[in-house]
Structure 1
């Protein structure tokens, strides 16, 4: 799967720094990518069903290759704009590499009905995310709140909900760029310092355009 991601993001033939892939339990489909001791670590939930594993691996390896290709900083805290772009890129890469799933599966909300509510609140979510593009979000916080969400303990309107809304915005923003003619490889190579401006402009365009009738 890593080779497939590298080809999709136009990195085939390049050499990645050493990567440690670990299979960890009790993350309930919350994989992660982090840097530890100079080594990139990709965590894949060990309890995943075989049908879920390819999609999760596609998303997490995309996060890894994106970080490497765009030379993203390894700081635990990142701007919301970077989270929006990185999550959106990972979800759409999953859609490209593991076709035939529902949008709910690609955005990691296959059963809750949450995605349908996001579509209804699209303008509200986009405006809220746009206002916070320069704010910092912690990778470790994202993983914890994602875990709370999967266990049903994340408070409504709290960090878990905000992280999920950033993910929804990421799906729409990257979808918008793809419709404009950018490729996933193009997006993966954009400089980190440009992401706030790019995301702000894309959200502004989305706010004055109708919701697409069909998603990829």
Structure 2
């Protein structure tokens, strides 16, 4: 059982105080009473959090009155997902904290250190593969020697997302492609840029600065497609699996060796 850290009461306090307030005052109240969003820990993160709040505000009225029921549901789903991930990776899920929060309806769960952060507005059907994805990150961090922080090499980002997306494909074969990796049209668009993305990533695999990581998370400057690190990880991990390697084996490659591992599969 994970340790539970429920942020929904903080959100409800903010939401009650913000009723009838103009957007700027609402933002001040959000920062004072809630101040939690699924955004990167970079200078632009607060601007993105403000954008998420403004876009989600009108939808919050539709949230269930009793968010504790959603929290309990996510706890149960997390325990089931952990048991499946442990079998797949032949390793225990490390001790972690399940952080439940109200997001911006963008369905963006994430792992930070040893915390797994899940938005309560995510449906049970969607939460099942998402929990598998995020728990895979926790197991992978432990097996590869990662500290699970935002700062890691581009190669580590690519492999982390590759393993997580393929884990959901294996454990949730009933789920759609979008639940594993993303919209099919987006993936086809990425595939059309596959050689360019590989060549662009190759000299940057060992870099861990914000600019490099965001280059392959936010819209890529060469093609305008976002989350291209996920696409690279999906393709590469698929190739390794087709060669007979396993997720359990790949998860045990030390994080320091991941630039070399990824470089071996990218076009020169």
Both proteins in one fold, TM over 0.5: yes
Unaligned runs of at least 5 residues, structure 2: 1-80
Q: Which residue among 119, 128, 140 is the counterpart of 2:200?
A: 128
Normalized against structure 2, the TM-score is what? 0.62
Question: Residue 108 of structure 2 corresponds to which residue in structure 1?
Answer: 30
User: 1:6-62 CA distances to partner (integer Å, 9 max, x unpaired)?
Assistant: 110111xx472x311122222522111112xxxx11011211122101110000000
Q: Compare the two structures and name the one with the higher strand fraction.
A: 1
Unaligned runs of at least 5 residues, structure 1: 147-153, 208-216
Question: Residue 9 of structure 1 corresponds to which residue in structure 2?
Answer: 89
Cα 1:41–1:15 change in 2 (3 A) is closer
Structure (1 or 2) with the larger CA radius of gyration = 2
Output the CA distance in 2 between the equivalents of 1:176 and 1:122.
14
Query: Runs of 4 or more off by more than 6 Å in structure 1?
Result: none
Instruction: Say how many residue pairs are matched.
Output: 183
Question: Equivalent residue of 2:116, what SS?
Answer: strand
Q: What is the Cα deviation at residue 66 of structure 1?
A: 0.5
Output the CA distance in 1 between the equivalents of 2:160 and 2:125.
23
Output the CA distance in 2 between the equivalents of 1:77 and 1:69.
17
Answer whether contact 2:162 2:235 (CA < 8 A) is retained: yes
Matched, 1:181 2:254: no
Question: Residue 50 of structure 2 corresponds to which residue in structure 1?
Answer: none
RMSD: 2.4
Q: Compare the two structures and name the one with the higher helix fraction.
A: 2
Following superposition of structure 1 onto structure 2, how do residues 38-117 of structure 1 map, counting pairs within 5 Å? Answer: 40-107=114-181, 109-110=182-183, 113-117=185-189
Answer whether contact 2:112 2:149 (CA < 8 A) is retained: no
Does 1 or 2 have the higher relative contact order (CA < 8 Å, sep 6+)? Answer: 1
